[in-house]
Amino acid sequence: MDTRHGVIISALLIVTMTTARVSSEQNYTIERLLLFTKNDVMVESFTNFTVGVRPKSVIQENAVVYFTTDNVHTAVALNEINITGEILSTEELSVSALDPGVAALHACEKNTTAQQQLNLKEAYLRVSVVRSKALHIVNIVIGWVYFIAWSVSFYPQIYTNFKRKSVVGLSFDFVAYNLTGFTVYSLFNIGMYSIPTVQSQYRDVNPGGVNPVQLNDVVFSIHALFATVLTAIQIFLYERGNQKLTIPSIVLIGCGWVFALISLALAAGGVITWFRFLNFISYVKLGVTLVKYIPQAYMNYKRQSTQGWSIGNVLLDFTGGTMSLLQMMLIAYNFNDWKSVFSDLTKFGLGMFSVLFDILFITQHYCLYRNKPASTAGYQPIASSMNSAA
């Protein structure tokens, strides 16, 4: 009995000591953490600035820290940092901002042993170098302008459907394409904006590049999906005549989803990165944008009228598209990063093609079919059908 008790006590002592050692090592690592006073800085090109660096708590020995950069053309550290043992103080790191772009500075400890090594996991500084801070503010304002214009653009059509209690004149193919397009576009924006792994993989492909997805892109895509779902519900609730989805649209939408699911399987299996997966499904959105306006333009042509298709939707969409293109150009200029314009084909294509088709719709509404009643061939208006029935 005494032997068994001795074994149990010994085991408990071993577990306690092991736990205490692990806890002590974890505390030691946390205590030796080296931090920047701020991790993100935006400055104008060809200027010098300083930023504070300090250990989280007092360390026992002296340490010398130097800093590497992943973009020597954009930002470089000008000095090393001497951390004095047993004194808790903030040291100043001088940084030179050079050409516009984005660079990351990482801390490295000099002439050290494994026992003396600092915890440098959080010791990094992201430097965004721009031509003009004022232009950066202008870009933010433009982003919210086109976000508002594009977001509001869905509601004239929704209101028109509600007022007429009819969706005759609205292409169902257009709505179906939007459902697919805004679903994958929302996934793309959420992933690029909020998932660190995807952002890291993006930087690997585009070293020093600027993430082209902003907060307003994320909010817009989710709201656009909601508004499109609401429009789709109206199709089931209101008079729709003999309109229906066409076979070519069903086939194209189906191919888009098959491509997206195959890409998802490849990413889940580690064949491609998650950034590449998001990039692939962004091509689905680009393809949707290329073709989604065609059914509506053809319907307007066939009916020789834009009745049932809200011009308010078109004008607001045109405003949003031009503002989106302008923002991309200004960001590329400010960061001297023109590759970001063409690496984000979804956003660039969305703006360009929507503008071109909006010009076509404006021409149809105000020039070609102005004040023309809708043709009754295949798309008979409600009022006419009621009169015929009477």
Concatenating the DSSP letter of every residue in 308-338 gives TS-HHHHHHHHHHHHHHHHHHHHHHHHHT-T
Decide if 118 contacts 34 (C-beta within 8 A).
yes
Mean pLDDT, range 160-181, rounded to an integer: 95
Q: Which helix (H) or strand (E) holds 95?
A: strand 91-97
Q: Among 61-65, 180-184, 380-384, which is the least confidently predicted range?
A: 380-384
In the numeric block, which tokens belong to residue 183? 């679903």
Mean pLDDT, range 258-265, rounded to an integer: 96
Percentage of the residues of the chain whose pLDDT score is greater than 70: 81
pLDDT of residue 373: 67
Phi-psi region of 105 (alpha: psi -120 to 50; beta: other; left: phi over 0): beta
Task: Give per-residue pLDDT as tens, 174-223.
Answer: 999 999 999 999 999 999 999 998 988 887 887 656 677 878 789 889 99
What values do phi and psi take at 279, rounded to 5?
-65, -40
pTM for the structure as a whole? 0.68
How many Å is the Cα radius of gyration of the chain? Answer: 30
DSSP-derived letter for residue 153 is T
Decide if 300 contacts 370 (C-beta within 8 A).
no
Query: Is residue 350's pLDDT more than 80?
Result: no
pLDDT of residue 83: 81
Whole-number Å distance between alpha carbons of 345 and 171: 26
Percentage of the residues of the chain whose pLDDT score is greater than 90: 47
Neighbours of 385 (CB within 10 A): 14
Whole-number Å distance between alpha carbons of 268 and 272: 8
pLDDT of residue 3: 56
